[in-house]
Amino acid sequence: MAKYKRQFFPGSTAPAKNRRRYLDPKVKLKQLRDVPMDDVVRLMGHRTPGSAYKSIHPPLTEGTEPECPIRKLVVPIEGAAAGDRVRYIQFTDSVYFAPISPYQRAWMYVSRYRGIDTGTLSGRQIIECRERNLEQIAKELIDNETFDPALTGIRGATVHGHSCRLDEHGLMFDGWQRYLWDDSKKEVMYVKDQVALPLDKKIYVGKPASMSDLKKRTTIFRADGVDMRDDKEVTDFYIRIHKLRTLGGYRPFDVKGE
């Protein structure tokens, strides 16, 4: 029997290749910045940097749970073992060639991380996890190439703006103005946390990438970039998905042989 080879995404165009890279956990993504962990904690807004993690249950080693074979097979993540509460971070991705889009974030999260839950909405993607593990994941996601200071927003509430025009500095619209352009440094700085509460210090997340660079890094197909119709394998893939989804919902007896 042939050994199973995991598949991630079809296609030969740049967005298709980027999707495969981001989804494949064996690929180490490029680190483009190094935002201090204390600043990541401030942006999330769940606890004060340096404070203890709050618990929702005792450490697993102190528990009296009944015997369970699955519990013996699955190694708990650090936060679950300690009894941490579950927290979240949410990213908004611009339709104007952001490095990644919400749906690909979902694929990437479940492919790369353990012990997480995620949900896709129109322009944003939430990821929930035990708090100490989530902070590590959040820092990785802010530091690496799937984040752009201008086209990726950290927004836990009132997230809309992903489809609005970019401003004069190329920044995606944010109704709460959590981040602003610092003209002296030519960088993006956050002045509010993800739910728009004012921060006690400015947090810099770096310089936006050029549009030419973003078009090389993005997973987004657009008519003014790489049109999905330019990649036959991707087009056929989505046609088949939508066909099966429709037949499966309305004419399941026609799905035979698919």
pLDDT, one tens digit per residue, over 188-204 is 999 999 999 999 999 99
User: Do 133 and 249 lie in a common domain?
Assistant: no
Is a pLDDT exceeding 80 seen at residue 85? yes
The residue-averaged pLDDT of 70-96 equals 95
Q: How far apart are CA 171 and CA 99, in angstroms?
A: 14
What percent of the chain clears pLDDT 90, i.e. is strictly above it? 83
Q: How far apart are CA 182 and CA 186, in angstroms?
A: 6
Pairing of strands 152-154, 179-182: unpaired
User: Do 180 and 243 lie in a common domain?
Assistant: no
Q: What is the pLDDT of residue 31?
A: 98
Domain assignment of residue 93, yes or no: yes
Enter the pTM of the model. Answer: 0.92
Domain assignment of residue 157, yes or no: yes
Q: What is the pLDDT of residue 232?
A: 95
Instruction: Give the 3-state secondary structure of residue 129.
Output: strand
88: containing domain:
14-225
The residue-averaged pLDDT of 11-40 equals 97
User: Do 44 and 159 lie in a common domain?
Assistant: yes
- With left for phi above 0 and alpha for psi between -120 and 50, is residue 202 left, alpha or beta? beta
| Choice between 68 and 231, residue whose per-residue pLDDT is larger | 231
The pair of structure tokens assigned to 127 is: 């990821």
